[in-house]
């Protein structure tokens, strides 16, 4: 009821076409309405959200210091996970290589911690050779999440040069007939596989287009987003994981999963990548169809009967054994970060709900169930993520991308609600 009254008041400040009489006033009243409505949906909680965020960021900062210290002993390596009592590392070519450097940049900047920023600089350099990789689509994750923050924070041309070279490598994976960037190199099963995760590379291409004035990377990004929008989604706006295209006709020849429980299931992290991808593409382009798609995905997810009350998804919304199936903290962290952004871009009636769900997710992830104690699990921040359950690896472990998007979500939310 409270939500309805607030949203009616909010609507009264806007003209019929959605434009507001005063952008400044709208901005302020929209945000405060979101806050109040969100508090109404959330119910009373003991710890104010601003304190949850501060506590969680302080823990994340401490954990990142611990992990950075142990990475000194692993020259040229990047952290991947902590499994069976051991820190597992990878090299620059792993899709996760950029997340820990990115987490260091975000936390170093937030805490004005010059030692952490120096560590971020050292560890980011380990990812540099990825700029020449042409056998993977993951260059957005690898380079934009590491070098992207480095360039944003320092403005140094070295970082931009690496990003430019990396974007050129990524663009070699474009096929105009298909209208998409290829995700994995072909195998017998798939001619031209494109996975929903690939939406996450598009921010990198939009950024490069803006920085260099070259329109092509942005054109590729929008065409890829359009092709994915046409072919990846089901009637209920859940997404397939893998769509493979016939390279002669350019049309899909297979719709499958690799990491979900079956071809028609809703693999949780894939749904979060899709939500994040279309929300981000709306921010980049202001194209209404991307906002519509983001809303539809958000609606599918937040209304899902098998999304638990604490809002941390099972690893697949159709996983066998629910409610005893494994949860995936990474899917929750990515979804929370996307919902926070969507709540700010979407001026429609469900914006408050997007924010309330994200807050609930961050509260849950910041509880003792998910947030590691200081010094635990080699300095990884969150527990209980799932990398690849059908493959039997990284099940119920910490993961660098869960930590990265958790920190990003905390910082995004703090910006909205204010530091104090």
Q: Estimate to the nearest angstrom the gap between the alpha carbon of 88 and the chain centroid.
A: 22
Residue number closest to ligand GLY, CB atom: 197
d(CA 72, CA 77): 9
Q: Which is nearer to ligand GLY, 3 or 319 (CB)?
A: 319
Asked whether 80 and 29 are in contact (CB, 8 A), the reply is: no
Q: Which is nearer to ligand GLY, 269 or 383 (CB)?
A: 269
Output the smallest distance, CB 366 to ligand GLY, in A: 22
Output the smallest distance, CB 195 to ligand GLY, in A: 7
Interface positions with ligand GLY (CB under 6 A): 95, 197, 259, 269, 387
Output the smallest distance, CB 249 to ligand GLY, in A: 27
Collect contacts of 174-180 with beta carbons under 8 A, ≥24 apart: 174/220, 175/245, 175/247, 177/247, 177/248, 177/250, 178/227, 178/245, 178/247, 178/250, 179/223, 179/224, 179/226, 179/227, 179/250, 180/223, 180/224, 180/227, 180/228, 180/245
Q: Which is nearer to ligand GLY, 56 or 386 (CB)?
A: 386
d(CA 8, CA 20): 14
Q: Estimate to the nearest angstrom the gap between the alpha carbon of 140 and the chain centroid.
A: 12
Q: Which residues are catalytic?
A: 138, 197
Output the smallest distance, CB 73 to ligand GLY, in A: 27
Of 166, 159, 196, residue with least CA distance to 180: 196
Residues with Cβ within 8 Å of residue 173, at least 6 apart in sequence: 134, 137, 181, 182
Q: Which is nearer to ligand GLY, 338 or 351 (CB)?
A: 338
Q: What is the CA radius of gyration of the chain?
A: 21
Question: Which pair of tokens denotes residue 164?
Answer: 């430019």
Q: Which is nearer to ligand GLY, 217 or 270 (CB)?
A: 270
């Amino acid at each position: 009821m409270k939500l309805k009254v607030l949203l009616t008041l909010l609507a009264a400040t806007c003209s019929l076409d959605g434009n507001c009489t005063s952008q400044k006033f709208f901005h302020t009243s929209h945000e405060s309405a979101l806050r109040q409505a969100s508090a109404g949906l959330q119910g009373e909680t003991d710890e104010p959200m601003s304190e949850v965020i501060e506590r969680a960021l302080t823990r994340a900062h401490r954990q990142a210091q611990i992990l950075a210290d142990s990475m000194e002993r692993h020259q040229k390596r990047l952290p991947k996970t902590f499994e069976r009592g051991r820190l597992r590392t990878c090299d620059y070519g792993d899709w996760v290589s950029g997340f820990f450097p990115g987490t260091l940049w975000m936390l170093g900047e937030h805490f004005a911690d010059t030692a952490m920023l120096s560590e971020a600089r050292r560890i980011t350099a380990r990812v540099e050779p990825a700029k020449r990789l042409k056998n993977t689509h993951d260059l957005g994750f690898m380079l934009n999440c590491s070098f992207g923050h480095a360039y944003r924070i320092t403005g140094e041309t070295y970082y931009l040069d690496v990003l430019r070279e990396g974007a050129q490598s990524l663009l070699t994976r474009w096929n105009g007939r298909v209208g998409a960037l290829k995700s994995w190199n072909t195998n017998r099963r798939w001619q031209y596989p494109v996975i929903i995760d690939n939406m996450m590379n598009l921010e990198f291409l939009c950024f490069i287009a803006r920085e260099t004035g070259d329109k092509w990377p942005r054109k590729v990004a929008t065409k890829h987003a359009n092709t994915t929008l046409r072919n990846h989604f089901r009637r209920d706006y859940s997404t397939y994981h893998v769509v493979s295209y016939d390279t002669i006709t350019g049309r899909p020849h297979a719709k499958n999963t690799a990491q979900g429980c079956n071809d028609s299931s809703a693999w949780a992290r894939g749904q979060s990548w899709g939500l994040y991808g279309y929300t981000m593409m709306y921010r980049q382009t202001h194209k209404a169809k991307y906002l519509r798609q983001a809303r539809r995905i958000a609606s599918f997810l937040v209304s899902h009967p098998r999304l638990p009350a604490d809002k941390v998804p099972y690893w697949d919304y159709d996983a066998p054994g629910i409610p005893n199936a494994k949860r995936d903290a990474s899917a929750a962290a990515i979804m929370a970060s996307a919902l926070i952004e969507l709540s700010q871009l979407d001026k429609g009636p469900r914006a408050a709900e997007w924010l309330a769900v994200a807050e609930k997710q961050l509260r849950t992830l910041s509880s003792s169930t998910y947030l590691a104690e200081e010094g635990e699990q080699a300095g990884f921040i969150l527990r209980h993520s799932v990398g690849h359950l059908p493959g039997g690896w990284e099940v119920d472990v910490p993961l660098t991308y869960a930590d990265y998007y958790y920190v990003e979500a905390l910082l995004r939310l703090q910006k909205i609600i204010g530091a104090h």
